[in-house]
A and B are shown apart, each in its own frame.
Chain A
Amino acid sequence: MKNMTIKRMIPAVGLVAVVAAGLPAAAAGNITVKGSDTMVILGQRWAEEYMEKNPEVTIQVTGGGSGTGIAALVNGTTTLANSSRPIKPEEIEQAKRGKIDVVEFKAAMDGLAVVVNADNPIRSLTLKQVGMIYTGYIGNWKQVGGPDRRIIRYSRESNSGTYVFFKEHVLMNRDYAADSQTMPGTSAVAEAVARDPSGIGFGGVAYFATNPKLRIVPIARDDKTEPISPLLPGGAINFPAIWDQSYPIARYLYVYSAGRPEGAVKAYLDWILGPDGQAIVERIEYVPMPPSKG
């Protein structure tokens, strides 16, 4: 018995040593960023380039949706949260209960585009029409000047900031139609609408701009105003329309931090809001902050 037990114990003890030795872990200069799926490419690029210039800092970026990021901030499991919607008062309250003071930074802007399949002849839509489509009141493309086909709605999961923003500003807080298919990310929305001639979707314009199977629909604020597209005729993003909000579905992209940022975190945030960070925003086809805000 002794022989066999000892022989079996050695690998067990070895494994324990390997694992137990790793327990006291806490890397210094480690920044975690969680949150918006819309912002995750942006967040990763920021992290990649910043880490290249500052190798002693490690930045860990994960997506999961604005709701996930803010929840993580409230739970204390992340340093920074990316969000494509503003934080809600009850979330700030919850954070306060956990002794966390949430600080908000506006890091970029975005035009939320409405897309249809490239085969769909629709030329433009009013904000109200989009709202009625997504709440289920308009169910056929012919009701908005298109072919006689049922409208297939593609939407996002409820943890998505895009979902929440769209619900508040386009659906006027009404519910999405029950048959809206919830896709886990904007790229999934893009792929779904690209494959579906009757489909409609929404998301950050950067995801749709270069896809030849999609058409971004110009939106008019109401019956009397001109429809405006988040894209300029050449294919570049329509910065002015988004900055002055003449494009009706323009939004800020936020970075939230747990408490006033200090040290490495402050340096990173300053860099994001500075010219280097904003240049990356532009390169990835998001909208940098308007010039007057610097």
Chain B
Amino acid sequence: MSRAVVEQLALGLLRGLAMMILLATVLLLGSIAVGGARVIDWEFLTSGPTEGMTEGGIFPAIFGTICITLLMIFMALPLGVCAAIYMTEYSGTTRTARLIRASVNNLAGVPSIVFGLFGVGFFILFIGRSIDAVRGGGLLFGQPAMLWAAATLAVLVLPVIIVSTAEALTAVPRSHREAAFALGATRWQTVSRVVLPQARAGILTGSILSISRGAGETAPILFTGCAYFLPRLPVVHLSVPLTGLSIPMINPLDQFMELSYHIFIMATQSTDAAVTRPIQYGTTLVLVGLTVLLNVSAIGLRARYRRRPVTR
């Protein structure tokens, strides 16, 4: 065979394989969309499961997912951003910096179920039980709860936040920092007023990606706080004194229902898998829709940010 023919065949093969992946994705998403579309309506999204989970909606799972990802990002974002700032702005190429980077890379490669084990062994049993011992008065913190599930997820998404923040920070040209120093600014002033504002988009991208990751992970929350069916939402009503008002607040010590866990449970352990199949598809469609939406906005944000010229 002539070289030209080999070239055409090889390039065609590579193109074909790449397209097959996209085709598989489209088929996957398509089958979920088709299976789930007929179930989704306003009631599905706003009411809870009934009739032994064979009918009704998935609102508690949606609510639980929102709660857990909010709590998770609240814990992970400050930690991750500060760690990234230290890594890129302060520690340079020292051994510490290399150690931090190596740890981040390793953390990114830990299996998700190991995070689940860590969540049980460290957060619930060690931290939670210790708090209970100090408090005195029974088991409150030392059991599965939204707080610990969120903490576990926060450790899991930490690398995502650190890496995207570090990328965003290093993308800011050196000249900007040098200009700030030339004007007499301290390191922190430079970072907080010059570098960080320009890295905002990258940090936001990282946050969105980690929210998407947190909503989709199931293994870490299997035993750290998720529940199969709860009769009420994880809120507690606080009464405001002297006004007779009561404000609903998220209760981080409660267990919660969650979308990805709901899919797993309904697909494997529901009372009649054939009857609940439409609900399974519907829940999957909601979760996929959520993650696709988040990922698309993150990617779009990053594209727009990269296209905007950084030097003004």
Contact = CB atoms under 8 A, between A and B. Distances in A.
Interface in B139-171: 139-140, 143-144
A184 B271 contact: no
B292 to A, nearest CB: 26
B231 A19 contact: no
A4 B197 contact: yes
Interface string B279-299: 000000000000000000000
Given A51-B231, A63-B228, A188-B273, A21 B249 contact: yes
A18 interface: yes
A189 B229 CA distance: 21
B270 A19 contact: no
Interface residues of B, number: 37
B55 interface: no
B236 interface: yes
Nearest to A16: B74
A156 to B, nearest CB: 11
A23 B252 CA distance: 6
A22 B192 contact: no
Contacts of B272: 187
Given A41-B52, A62-B229, A184 B252 contact: no
A18 B250 contact: yes
Contacts of A37: 269
Interface in A13-46: 15-16, 18-19, 21-23, 25-27, 37, 40-41, 44-45
A45 B230 contact: no
B249 A22 contact: yes
Contact of A22 (B140, B143, B252): B252
A75 B268 CA distance: 26
Contacts of B232: 58
A58 B253 contact: no
B140 A26 contact: yes
A14 to B, nearest CB: 10
Interface in B102-145: 139-140, 143-144
B61 interface: no
Nearest to A75: B143
List of 3 A-B pairs having minimum Cβ-Cβ separation, nearest first: A185-B269, A22-B251, A184-B268
Given A40-B271, A60-B230, 10 more contacts: A4-B197, A18-B249, A22-B252, A23-B252, A45-B52, A47-B231, A63-B228, A64-B228, A187-B271, A188-B268
Interface of B: 52-53, 70-71, 74, 78, 139-140, 143-144, 189, 192-193, 197, 227-232, 235-236, 238, 247, 249-254, 268-274
6 contacts: A19-B249, A19-B252, A27-B236, A37-B269, A63-B269, A185-B270
